[in-house]
Amino acid sequence: MPWVLDGAGARAVDARLEAAGLLDLTMEEAGRAVADAAHAAFPHGAALLLAGGGANGGDAFVAARHLLTLGREVQVLALPSRHPLTRLNRRRWRAVGGVTRALGEAALKRAAPGAGVIVDGLLGTGFRPPLRPALAGVLAALNGTRERGVPVLAVDLPSGLTDSLATVPDGAAGADLTVTFMGLKPALLFGPAAARAGQVQLAPLRVPGDWVAAQALAAQPTDAQVAARLPVRGADAHKGVAGRVWIVGGHPGTVGAAGLAGVGALRAGAGLVTVHSAAEVPLLMPELMVHRHADLRAALLGTPASGRPDAVAVGMGLGPDAAALAREILAWGVPTVLDADALQPELAGCGHDRCVWTPHPGEAGRLLGCAAADVTRDPLAAARALHARLGGAVVLKGGPSVVAHAGGLSVSRGGHPGMASGGMGDTLSGVLAALLGQRLGAADAAVAGVRLHARAGERAAARHGYGLSASDVAQELGGAWRDLGAAGLPPHMHPRGVKFP
């Protein structure tokens, strides 16, 4: 299981490693992983390693030693070594004949132009902004060299990024490849910080798995683990057992939202999908049942309990009265997806444990009473706060999306930037409602639905290129299901029982 781990979590694991006398071995393994990655990705020319005073610099000294044994020409520029293991590995570097010169802006500018790769081991999880002026010039020179075409490999995270945040502090370095240890740092997953890190490789290191799991902020389930959450359908299934789903949405001007949610639900396996709207919703698929109601509220609330669906998605393009209608639907107690106009602060406390709430950062800010920028700065904290307020499962949409539920946080993998287009969230709501209708709990539906949708987006991008429509993505949902490895498996072979948060 790949974990998401911030600097505080990594330090807690380090403390256990140190108490066990293993921290030196862990740094050796970390530095060796850096050397192997640098040699594989940038096999030509001299390697120039930049070592800071902390343990991040210690990793760089270890990497220098291993690059030498791999036959590379190696230069090291270093700040004074403060961490005991950094001093130890600096001595070991000298013991194998390595030379260390003092790092400064001028020394870097002299050494960098001929390098085949620069390894940035200046600042890792121990960095606290703002950047001190003495290092600002060094990082500016590093960025300038990279812009002129010399590739940079960052150790753990690019120097000057804050491990747990998606924002980029002034003066931070960029990298082409980042080799990170034990767990993915949030900065490597979200927003502009992630864009600075280039390609990310996780070196889990041979640390007891439960030590890392105990400190992890979130999980990033594999596709096999996601597949284990998808519903299993017997060979004798019929539409009545595959879930009756209602889509409640649409308003003059936003009728497509409800139709797209309906398509998402059908493509994610719902047995019967009915769209209820106060407006004329286009019939995007003839298999959808579309009802226009002069009085939507009266029509829905007049339904006897026996006629209620197995799952509802409410809010997509629903318009100004969405919160009142959503409140009454929530009182039914049926599994419910709340999206778009139904994501209103006054509904906090009205939900139940079979609800999935699907805000994007703007809607999340509205629910939390903060700016969208506060949400995108620390999406894990925002998702946790939303779950504390709303319960059930929360899908904080983004690239990647975060799912918060009673078992913890889960970060989705994959997707495609072309999915940033109108209607994509409506389709997701339909997918989630379909999974709830097929008897998945809120957490399973949220984790599996988000990955299914992201995988469909990857497939749509492969087929259509960059600009993707929600309809393109919906068409790929069946293939995405198959890609995840779940469809067609008979129940006794289905990989259920894999537990993860």
Ligand X SMILES: NC(=O)C1=CN([C@@H]2O[C@H](COP(=O)(O)OP(=O)(O)OC[C@H]3O[C@@H](n4cnc5c(N)ncnc54)[C@H](O)[C@@H]3O)[C@@H](O)[C@H]2O)[C@H](O)CC1
Is 58 among the annotated ligand-binding positions? yes
**CA angle at 438 for the pair 433 and 441, rounded to the nearest 5°:** 75
Q: What is the Cα–Cα distance from 71 to 116, expressed in whole angstroms?
A: 14
Is 156 among the annotated ligand-binding positions? yes
**Binding residue for ligand X, selected from 111, 118, 138, 182, defined by CB under 6 A:** 182
Q: What is the Cα–Cα distance from 299 to 26, expressed in whole angstroms?
A: 64
Least spacing, CB of residue 70 vs ligand X, in Å: 19
Within residues 416-455, the interface with ligand X by CB under 6 A covers none
The residue among 59 and 476 lying less far from ligand X, judged by its C-beta, is 59
Query: Kind of pairing, strands 199-203 and 177-181?
Result: parallel
Is 254 among the annotated ligand-binding positions? no
Residue 351 is classified by DSSP as -
Q: What is the Cα–Cα distance from 262 to 227, expressed in whole angstroms?
A: 23
Least spacing, CB of residue 132 vs ligand X, in Å: 4
The residue among 2 and 45 lying less far from ligand X, judged by its C-beta, is 2
Exposed/middle/buried for residue 82 (C-beta within 10 Å: 0-12, 13-18, 19+): middle
Site string for ligand X, 81-120 (x = CB under 6 A): -xx-------------------------------------
Is 89 among the annotated ligand-binding positions? no
The residue among 205 and 368 lying less far from ligand X, judged by its C-beta, is 205
**Binding residue for ligand X, selected from 3, 4, 30, 451, defined by CB under 6 A:** 30
Site string for ligand X, 43-82 (x = CB under 6 A): ---------xxxxxxxx----------------------x
Q: What is the DSSP string of 151-181?
A: -EEEESS-TT--TT-SS--TT----SEEEEE
Least spacing, CB of residue 11 vs ligand X, in Å: 7
The residue among 23 and 273 lying less far from ligand X, judged by its C-beta, is 23
Is 221 among the annotated ligand-binding positions? no
Is 35 among the annotated ligand-binding positions? no
Two tokens, residue 59: 């990793």
Is 209 among the annotated ligand-binding positions? no
Least spacing, CB of residue 348 vs ligand X, in Å: 37
Two tokens, residue 226: 């996601």
Least spacing, CB of residue 86 vs ligand X, in Å: 8
Within residues 126-155, the interface with ligand X by CB under 6 A covers 126-132, 135, 155
Element (H, E) at 245: strand 244-248
Is 400 among the annotated ligand-binding positions? yes
Per CB under 6 A, the segment of 125-133, 139-147, 218-226, 250-258 that binds ligand X is: 125-133
The residue among 26 and 220 lying less far from ligand X, judged by its C-beta, is 26
Is 360 among the annotated ligand-binding positions? yes
Q: State the number of CA atoms in the 13 A half-sphere of 61 facing the CB.
A: 33
Is 125 among the annotated ligand-binding positions? yes
The residue among 11 and 239 lying less far from ligand X, judged by its C-beta, is 11
Is 116 among the annotated ligand-binding positions? no
Site string for ligand X, 193-212 (x = CB under 6 A): --------------------
Per CB under 6 A, the segment of 22-30, 35-43, 188-196, 485-493 that binds ligand X is: 22-30
The length of the chain in residues reads: 501
Q: How far is CA 414 from CA 50, 88, 223, 396, 456, in A?
A: 32, 40, 10, 15, 10
**Binding residue for ligand X, selected from 3, 4, 27, 456, defined by CB under 6 A:** 27
Is 57 among the annotated ligand-binding positions? yes
The phi and psi torsions of 408 (rounded to 5 degrees) equal: 130, -155
- Identify whether the C-beta of residue 167 lies closer than 8 Å to the C-beta of residue 377: yes
Residue of 398, 434, 403, 404 whose CA lies nearest to 417: 398
**CA angle at 50 for the pair 47 and 56, rounded to the nearest 5°:** 120
Two tokens, residue 216: 């992890």
**Binding residue for ligand X, selected from 75, 89, 125, 358, defined by CB under 6 A:** 125
**CA angle at 280 for the pair 298 and 252, rounded to the nearest 5°:** 90
Residue that has been written with the tokens 């639907």 in this structure: 329
Residue 482 as a binder of ligand X (CB under 6 A): the answer is: no
280 contacts: CB under 8 Å, gap ≥ 6: 255, 292
Least spacing, CB of residue 217 vs ligand X, in Å: 14
Exposed/middle/buried for residue 41 (C-beta within 10 Å: 0-12, 13-18, 19+): middle
159 contacts: CB under 8 Å, gap ≥ 6: 52, 56, 120, 122, 123, 124, 127, 135, 139, 142, 172, 173
The residue among 121 and 259 lying less far from ligand X, judged by its C-beta, is 121
Two tokens, residue 480: 């995405």
Least spacing, CB of residue 93 vs ligand X, in Å: 15
**Beta strand extents in 250-391 (DSSP E only):** 272-277, 289-292, 311-314, 336-338, 355-357
Is 56 among the annotated ligand-binding positions? yes
**Binding residue for ligand X, selected from 3, 118, 119, 124, defined by CB under 6 A:** 124
First to last CA, the chain: 10
The residue among 161 and 313 lying less far from ligand X, judged by its C-beta, is 161
The residue among 123 and 409 lying less far from ligand X, judged by its C-beta, is 123
Which residues is 199 bridged to in the sheet? 177
Is 399 among the annotated ligand-binding positions? yes
Residue 10 as a binder of ligand X (CB under 6 A): the answer is: yes
Number of residues that bind ligand X (CB under 6 A): 31
Chain residues that interact with ligand X, rule: CB under 6 A: 10, 13-14, 26-27, 30, 52-59, 82-83, 123-132, 135, 155-156, 181-182
State the binding site for AMP.
Answer: 397-401, 425
State the binding site for K(+).
Answer: 56, 120, 159
State the binding site.
Answer: 55-59, 120, 124-130, 156, 159, 257, 317, 360, 397-401, 425-426
